[in-house]
A and B are shown apart, each in its own frame.
Chain A
Amino acid sequence: MSEPTGPETSRDAGEAMTELFAFLRRRISGDYEIDEFGFDPEFHDKVLLELLRPLYRHWFRVETLGLENVPVDSGALVVANHSGTLPLDALMLQVASHDEAGRAVRLLGAHLVYQLPVLGHLARKGGHTLACPEDADRLLRKGELVGVFPEGFKGIGKPFSERYRLQRFGRGGFVTSAIRAGVPIVPCSIVGAEEIYPKIGEVPVLARMLGLPYLPITPFFPWLGLFGLVPLPSKWLIEFGEPIRTDEFDPEQADDPAVIFELTDHIRETMQQRLNDVRLRRGPAFQPF
């Protein structure tokens, strides 16, 4: 390996600058495209992911497993466990899908996200949308990689003592959508998010006043103020499990509760098993950097 020579580096720097200016010009003149959901691929790749990557690579040191289970270019529904008090697991899944699997994952989020200023707007720019059957069906029909957290707030807001125990899944609406679109369900186990903000208590009265699903108390929040919001540097593993086919079902069975509940239970059991295995594989939550 030879040291880069002077003119080359300056040319590289020059190119980088030209590219940066072109990028800024496009942003300032509004000359970029978004899709109907508000997904802004350029902003997603060049701004959002750049901000998340240091956290992904150096803080949580995320490792991915089972990337071959993510379809290269067809529709699929990634179903993941949800934890960590704040949805950093969603953001890390987003980086993992883009950087490791080469796909933009379109996550289905809670109503709350879209009611809040800035957050809802950023979520749309990042390619995400509201968790509702219409949007899920539409994205899957377009062959997108869609991600859901069926535990919802029950999962992300559960106390630390319940860590790595999957909570109840909702009504299984995600299964209905997958069957209707005939796409595979990819169970995804995210290990590490449980330890970032260990929730040891909550303030239900204040949460209700603020219209939030919960207001957590962790060993560091609210005692250390904003510093309490720094996530603990746990070691993360994200595994994409073996796809579960849904195309063997008749699309008419998408509305049959018996079929839906059975498949939902099957997926939940599989996920709990994978979660236990991946957690064992990771070892201690806090490992030396």
Chain B
Amino acid sequence: MAHNVLVTGVSRHIGRRVASALAADPDVDRVIGVDTVPPSSLSRDDGTPPLGRTEFVRVDLRSPDVVRVISAADVDTVVHLSLVSGPAKSRSAVKEHNVIGTMQLLAACQRSETVRRVVVRSTTAVYGSSPNAPAVFSEDTEPAEASHHGYEKDAVEVEASVRGFSRRRPDVVTTTLRFAALMGPGVDSPLTRYFSQPVLPSVFGFDPRLQFVHEDDAVEVLGRVARQDHPGVFNVAGDGVLLLSQCARRAGRPVVPVPSPALRILGFSSEQLSLLTHGRVVDAGRLAAELGRRPKFGTAAAFEDFLAVRR
């Protein structure tokens, strides 16, 4: 059977790695990578894997162009990785990219007759961070309070459109993966930038529980669900938990506790602030049972691997 995979967000680290892993698989006929910006090079050898035979198409997901890409290439699997957390552009542009982009993509999948599997990258941020929430979130946990914050809200809306899509197209296998914070040598996220600072500001009186997933495990999981049917919603996180203070000590960086309004002035967004206050831990057991495999890196090992290259 022909196996044509469309990967969105291919110019960013995880998207690139997933595309190159799929391109290396002989069972996959074509890998089409799309993004709003071209990848810096299609075959760099600066440590990041080459995209291999991935065909890059520059598409703005907010436009309906993606329909043409899907029908032209007879795409059967869509791996949607382009959820952006960083405030790279203005907040409204990010929101449009995340929410409208997903809606357009799913609308295209809905109309397509070839697509039979959709994988969406989401985040554990959909559970929020709250003192009124359970200590450990499972996939069925309802968020304690509705999220009003940027990235969290985007992810919640993205997941709502995915649910709507899978109701309208029950014949398509949809997988939603809620990733804990990505960690690893190549990851560039607000959290990895935070841990790269010489001094770590923290919220006075709070020591949040954090959980990481190593980029290798993320790529492995995405590759698996892109090639086999694993319908449902799954948390993805490394085993174990680290406190912010433990992370700081392992990184050898001093923590400066400040009252939370001061952190807001320092430029932390509300969702980062609530994460740094109340933390977030999820139960990743459902995915481990589904795939028959636990992540190779636990939370502590993923953080150690991240530190190894920064030192």
Binds B, one of A1-9, A31-39, A56-64, A221-229: A31-39
**Docked-complex contact A111 and B136, CB < 8 angstroms:** no
**Docked-complex contact B135 and A37, CB < 8 angstroms:** yes
Instruction: Kindly provide the distance from the CB of B250 to the nearest chain A CB, expressed in whole angstroms.
Output: 4
Q: In chain A between 94 and 149, which residues have their CB closer than 8 angstroms to a CB of chain B?
A: 111, 114-121, 124, 129-130, 132, 134-135, 138
The one of B134, B205, B250 that contacts A134, using a Cβ cutoff of 8 Å = B134
Say which size band chain B's interface belongs to: 20 to 34
**Docked-complex contact B249 and A135, CB < 8 angstroms:** no
Q: Determine the distance from Cα of A116 to Cα of B249 in the docked complex, in whole angstroms.
A: 24
A29 within 8 A of B: yes
Q: Determine the distance from Cα of A36 to Cα of B238 in the docked complex, in whole angstroms.
A: 12
| Per-residue A-contact encoding for B99-133, CB less than 8 Å = 1, 0 else | 00000000000000000000000000000000111
**Docked-complex contact A130 and B243, CB < 8 angstroms:** no
**Docked-complex contact B132 and A30, CB < 8 angstroms:** no
B247 within 8 A of A: yes
**Docked-complex contact A114 and B132, CB < 8 angstroms:** yes
B204 within 8 A of A: yes
A28 within 8 A of B: yes
B141 within 8 A of A: yes
**Docked-complex contact A134 and B241, CB < 8 angstroms:** no
Could you count the A-B residue pairs with CB atoms below 8 Å apart for me: how many are there?
A: 75
Q: A29-B250, A30-B249 given as contacts; is B136 within 8 A of A36 (CB)?
A: yes
Q: A129-B135, A134-B136, A135-B136 given as contacts; is B206 within 8 A of A120 (CB)?
A: yes
Q: A33-B240, A37-B136, A135-B136 given as contacts; is B206 within 8 A of A117 (CB)?
A: yes
Q: Determine the distance from Cα of A37 to Cα of B208 in the docked complex, in whole angstroms.
A: 11
Q: In chain A between 5 and 51, which residues have their CB closer than 8 angstroms to a CB of chain B?
A: 28-38
- Give the residue name and chain of the A residue nearest to B260 (CB): A117
Q: Determine the distance from Cα of A119 to Cα of B207 in the docked complex, in whole angstroms.
A: 11
- Give the residue name and chain of the A residue nearest to B138 (CB): A134
Q: Which residues of A contact B245 (CB under 8 A)?
A: 30
B95 within 8 A of A: no
**Docked-complex contact B206 and A111, CB < 8 angstroms:** no
**Docked-complex contact B206 and A38, CB < 8 angstroms:** no
- Give the residue name and chain of the A residue nearest to B277 (CB): A117
Q: In chain B between 214 and 263, which residues have their CB closer than 8 angstroms to a CB of chain A?
A: 240-243, 245-250
- Give the residue name and chain of the B residue nearest to A125 (CB): B207
Residue from B133, B135, B243 having most chain A Cβ neighbours under 10 A: B135
Q: Determine the distance from Cα of A130 to Cα of B134 in the docked complex, in whole angstroms.
A: 7
Q: Which residues of A contact B248 (CB under 8 A)?
A: 30
**Docked-complex contact A135 and B240, CB < 8 angstroms:** no
**Docked-complex contact B141 and A35, CB < 8 angstroms:** no
Q: Which residues of A contact B250 (CB under 8 A)?
A: 29-31
B281 within 8 A of A: yes
Q: In chain A between 226 and 253, which residues have their CB closer than 8 angstroms to a CB of chain B?
A: none
Q: Which residues of B contact A33 (CB under 8 A)?
A: 240
**Docked-complex contact A38 and B246, CB < 8 angstroms:** no
Q: Determine the distance from Cα of A43 to Cα of B135 in the docked complex, in whole angstroms.
A: 19
| Per-residue A-contact encoding for B271-302, CB less than 8 Å = 1, 0 else | 00000001101010000000000000000000
11 cross-chain CB contacts under 8 A = A31-B250, A36-B136, A37-B135, A115-B131, A119-B205, A120-B131, A130-B131, A130-B134, A132-B133, A134-B134, A135-B135
Instruction: List chain A positions with a Cβ less than 8 A from chain B.
Output: 28-38, 111, 114-121, 124, 129-130, 132, 134-135, 138
